[in-house]
Amino acid sequence: AQSVTQLDSQVPVFEEAPVELRCNYSSSVSVYLFWYVQYPNQGLQLLLKYLSGSTLVKGINGFEAEFNKSQTSFHLRKPSVHISDTAEYFCAVIYSGGYQKVTFGIGTKLQVIP
């Protein structure tokens, strides 16, 4: 079965420190990859996406992610986090041929500590 794995359910990090949120997916077909963020009491918002081309993609709020096909990973990174980055982050995949059916991971809660 196709699945998305977010290895860390919670990640505490001090303000201005770097962070990496890990995501792996299962696939034997082409994929399109996404990171969404959900701030407290708000809806999901797209952070960034990989459809094709350069494997390093940059998104909003200083986040970036790198698509690694051999490792089937799409880890999210930010070199210096802010308090306002405290939120839940979801990795998501659309499998080629799956219309736009999105498969989400269970989410990683990023807690930025002052």
Q: Which residue ranges make up the site for other proteins (CB under 8 A)?
A: 4, 32, 34, 36, 42-46, 49, 51, 90, 92, 94, 99-107
Which residue lies nearer to other proteins by CB, 21 or 105? 105
CB of 53 to other proteins, least distance (A): 13
Q: How far apart are CA 114 and CA 92, in angstroms?
A: 29
Q: How far apart are CA 22 and CA 3, in angstroms?
A: 14
Which residue lies nearer to other proteins by CB, 15 or 59? 59
Which residue lies nearer to other proteins by CB, 14 or 39? 39
CB of 96 to other proteins, least distance (A): 9
For 1-114, list the strands marked E by DSSP.
Answer: 4-5, 10-14, 19-21, 24-25, 31-38, 44-50, 56-58, 64-68, 73-78, 87-95, 102-104, 108-113
CB of 24 to other proteins, least distance (A): 14
Which residue lies nearer to other proteins by CB, 81 or 107? 107
Contact 63, 76 (CB under 8 A): yes
